Amino acid sequence: MRVPAKLNLQLAVGPPRADGYHDLVTVFHAVSLFDEVTAEPAGRDGVTVTGEGADRVPDDQDNLALRAVAALRDAMTGPAQAATGVHITIAKRIPVAAGLAGGSADAAAALVACNELWDGGLSQPQLLEVAALVGSDVAFALLGGTAVGRGRGERLTPALAPATQYHWVLAFADGQLSTPEVYATLDRLRARGVRGDGRSLPRGSQGDGSPREEQGGPQGAGGYGRRESPVPGKRPREITQPVLDAALMSALRSGDARMVGRALSNDLQPAAVSLFPALRKTLAAGLELGALGALVSGSGPTCLFLAASADRALDLAVSLSGAGVCRSVARVAGPAPGAAIVSPAK
C-alpha cells in the first residue's frame, strides 16, 4: 500500500468542544510524499517501522496503524470477524510529528490492506466510518485528492477542482510539535486576546517574517493568527464557528496557483510559531525566494511553499536548502491519490 502525506490549504479552527476537540473547516490536499505499508498474516498483531523517524513511532498497541487494525476487526461482521493476527510493516518517508498526518496515513493504509487480507468486504464508505474512529485525519488519507473536512476533520466532501497539479516545496524542521499542544496553545493565545489571521505570509513581507496584519482574513479564520505576543488591552475574543474560505475554493476551481498561494491560511500557525519560533524565518525565507504562498503545515513544524511550476519548485528547494533555515527539503506535487493498493494481498 502506498499512502500520501496531507497538507491543509485552509485550516480554520473553532472553539474547543466539550470532548476536547475543535470543530474545523479544513481543505485537505494529498501530496506525492508516500509511506509504504504492507500487511501480512501473523500469529498476533504487531508492527515494524523503518525509515524516516522510525525510532519515534510506537511499535506497540499505541501505534495508530495497530489501532486501525483493532477498529477494523470490531467493525467486521460474519466470517471475516474471526480474522487472524496481522503484522504491519511501515516504511516511512513522511516525517513523524511534522504536521503531515503521517501516522494517520499509515492507519488508513492498514485499514485498506487488512480489509483486503481478511476479505472483510467493507465498502469505501464503511472504511471511512472506521477511519473516523481512529483519528481526525485518517479518513482523508483514504480518500486523497483535495477535499473539504468538517467536524474534527473527518466529515469529508471531495473538492470539485480541475486536474491542475500544484508544485510544493516542503521544509522539514529540526524538531517536532505535538498536535494537542499546538491546539492548546492556540486556545491560550485566543484567551489572551491575541489576534492575527493565520494567512499565508504575503510575498515581499519583511525579511524577518514579522507577521503582517491583513484586512478581512478568510471568513472562517475568525481573525486569529499570527501575532504571538498578547496585545495590550485586548480581551479574550469570541471565537466563531469556522467557515470555508470562498476565495480559496474559487482559486482551486480556477486552477490558478497564484490565487491559491494568496489564499492559504492556517489558524494553528501562530501557535506553532510561538512554540517553534525558528519557523518564522523559514516562512519568510521561502517568500523572499519567490514562493507564491507560505504556510505552516497543519500543526507544524513542516512549512509548505507553493511554486509556480515544477522548475520554480526545484529552484526554490535548492535555495531554501542553501539558506540553512530548515533540516531538509522535499519537492512534492498534489493532489495525489489516497491509500492505494500497489501489490494486492496474496
- The 173-212 site mask, x for binding ligand C5P (CB under 6 A), equals ------xx--x-----------------------------
230 near ligand C5P, rule: CB under 6 A: no
Q: Please list the residues that pair with 146 across neighbouring strands.
A: 29
From 6, 22, 227, 312, residue interacting with ligand C5P (rule: CB under 6 A): 22
- Please give the full DSSP string across 208-223, using - where no structure is assigned: T------SS--GGGTT
| Cα 122 → chain centroid | 26
Three cell numbers, residue 158: 471531495
Three cell numbers, residue 314: 526545484
| Cα 259 → chain centroid | 20
SS3 66: helix
Nearest approach, Cβ of 153 to ligand C5P (angstroms)?
5
From 152, 226, 262, 280, residue interacting with ligand C5P (rule: CB under 6 A): 152
Region of 15-23, 85-93, 156-164, 289-297 interacting with ligand C5P (CB under 6 A): 15-23
Residue whose CB is less far from ligand C5P, 180 or 322: 180
| Alpha-carbon span 11 to 290, nearest angstrom | 23
28 near ligand C5P, rule: CB under 6 A: no
Burial grade of 13 (CB within 10 A; 0-12, 13-18, 19 or more): buried
Nearest approach, Cβ of 22 to ligand C5P (angstroms)?
4
| Alpha-carbon span 306 to 269, nearest angstrom | 16
Nearest approach, Cβ of 13 to ligand C5P (angstroms)?
7
Decide if 6 is catalytic.
Answer: yes
**Is-cis flag, bond preceding 16, omega within 30?**
no
Region of 21-29, 43-51, 119-127, 256-264 interacting with ligand C5P (CB under 6 A): 21-29
SS3 132: helix
- The size of the interface with ligand C5P (CB under 6 A), counted in residues, is 12
**Is-cis flag, bond preceding 218, omega within 30?**
no
269 near ligand C5P, rule: CB under 6 A: no
Task: For residue 192, give the DSSP letter.
Answer: T
How far from 202 is each of 191, 210, 223, 315, CA to CA, in Å? 26, 11, 16, 19
24 near ligand C5P, rule: CB under 6 A: yes
| Residue 119 falls in which region: left (phi positive, over 0), alpha (psi -120 to 50) or beta | left
User: Of these residues, 6, 45, 197, 245, which one is catalytic?
Assistant: 6
User: Of these residues, 35, 137, 245, 267, which one is catalytic?
Assistant: 137
Q: How many residues are given for the chain?
A: 346
Residue whose CB is less far from ligand C5P, 88 or 108: 108
- The 82-121 site mask, x for binding ligand C5P (CB under 6 A), equals ----------------------------------------
From 35, 45, 52, 137, residue interacting with ligand C5P (rule: CB under 6 A): 137
Decide if 137 is catalytic.
Answer: yes
Nearest approach, Cβ of 208 to ligand C5P (angstroms)?
30
Residues that bind ligand C5P (CB under 6 A): 20-22, 24, 135-137, 152-153, 179-180, 183
> Which residues participate in catalysis according to the annotation?
6, 137
